């Protein structure tokens, strides 16, 4: 079994603007002006952030600039949004699987926001970023173990087994393990670390906070909905009943989101793809 450590996994670097924003968030005292100054230094990245900030889940008013975005969605939400926007650079545009994975992550982010909005179980903007980041471990494995991971992809599609099952069999660990390593190396907020490492677990460790358990449930449900709708990937999977019950997520709500998600995704897709 190959041991998963920081020493033998090449972890992609976040764009400098994301690193600076995370460092700023760690300071005891910060200001909105400091956050604005950092994000605004990179015009291309600022544009990407604004595209996502103008998702309907952040409000109904058009956000024209970074200061307005910060004032509208708040400091903590903007920090997470910056990290989410930066994650696009991890997915190689020349790799077919990683492009599908990015599309799936975009869809899960939207679905997670809808689940959160309809159940009021968590903030939709927080759920959006959690959905965006949840499968980062797959992209990192694909990059590090390209030939081996191609076998994983082929076997998962041929057998119908889950990626977690096939990854564990072929590699010796799975993408949630890799996601946890990456999240800690990037010093991401604890809630994102938890989602990236636990979104496929049916039971949660007692050390995980109630809030983070809810966020994992939201992402698991959103992931299942997107798989059933063929957004990025297609796989007929049941939406887990226990997670639904914990959130108060009824069959009626689920059916409505399943029905409306594809059109919403098409409408919002241009905001997330560049």
Give the DSSP letter of residue 37: H
pLDDT at residue 1, as a whole number: 46
pLDDT in tens, the chain (274 residues): 455 555 678 888 888 888 888 888 877 788 889 999 999 988 888 888 888 787 765 665 788 899 988 888 888 778 878 887 888 888 888 889 999 999 999 899 999 999 999 999 998 878 988 999 999 999 999 999 999 999 999 999 999 999 999 999 999 899 999 999 999 988 888 999 999 999 999 889 999 999 999 999 999 999 999 999 999 998 888 898 999 999 999 999 999 999 989 888 887 666 665 5
Beta-carbon contacts of residue 90 (< 8 Å; ≥ 6 apart): 12, 136, 139, 140, 143
pLDDT at residue 271, as a whole number: 61
pLDDT at residue 272, as a whole number: 60
Beta-carbon contacts of residue 241 (< 8 Å; ≥ 6 apart): none
- What is the set of domains in the chain, with CATH numbers? 14-90 (no CATH), 91-272 (1.10.3210.10)
Cα distances (angstroms) measured from residue 250 to each of 114, 158, 161: 13, 32, 27
| Cα gap 125→56, rounded to integer Å | 10
First to last CA, the chain: 38
Other Cβ atoms closer than 10 A to 162: 14
| Cα gap 39→82, rounded to integer Å | 8
Q: Find the helix or strand (DSSP H, E) in which 100 lies.
A: helix 96-119
Least Cα distance to 126 among 218, 202, 247 occurs for: 218
| Cα gap 131→52, rounded to integer Å | 13
């Amino acid at each position: 079994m190959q041991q998963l450590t920081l020493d033998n996994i090449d972890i992609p670097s976040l764009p400098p603007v994301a690193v600076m924003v995370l460092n700023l968030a760690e300071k005891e005292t910060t200001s909105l002006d400091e956050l604005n100054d950092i994000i605004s230094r990179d015009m291309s990245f600022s544009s990407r952030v604004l595209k996502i900030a103008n998702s309907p889940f952040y409000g109904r008013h058009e956000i024209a600039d970074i200061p307005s975005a910060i004032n509208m969605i708040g400091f903590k939400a903007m920090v997470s949004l910056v990290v989410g926007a930066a994650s696009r650079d991890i997915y190689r545009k020349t790799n077919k699987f990683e492009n599908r994975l990015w599309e799936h992550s975009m869809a899960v982010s939207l679905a997670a926001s809808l689940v959160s909005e309809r159940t009021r179980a968590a903030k939709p903007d927080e759920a959006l970023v959690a959905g965006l980041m949840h499968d980062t471990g797959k992209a990192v494995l694909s990059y590090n173990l390209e030939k081996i991971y191609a076998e994983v992809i082929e076997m998962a599609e041929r057998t119908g087994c889950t990626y977690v099952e096939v990854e564990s069999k072929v590699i010796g660990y799975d993408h949630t393990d890799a996601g946890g390593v990456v999240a800690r190396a990037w010093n991401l907020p604890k809630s994102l670390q938890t989602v990236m490492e636990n979104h496929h677990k049916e039971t949660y460790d007692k050390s995980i906070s109630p809030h983070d358990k809810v966020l994992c449930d939201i992402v698991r449900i959103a992931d299942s909905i997107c798989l059933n709708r063929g957004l990025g990937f297609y796989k007929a999977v049941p939406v887990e009943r226990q997670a639904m019950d914990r959130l108060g997520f009824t069959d009626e709500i689920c059916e409505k989101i399943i029905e409306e998600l594809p059109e919403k995704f098409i409408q919002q897709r241009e905001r997330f793809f560049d």
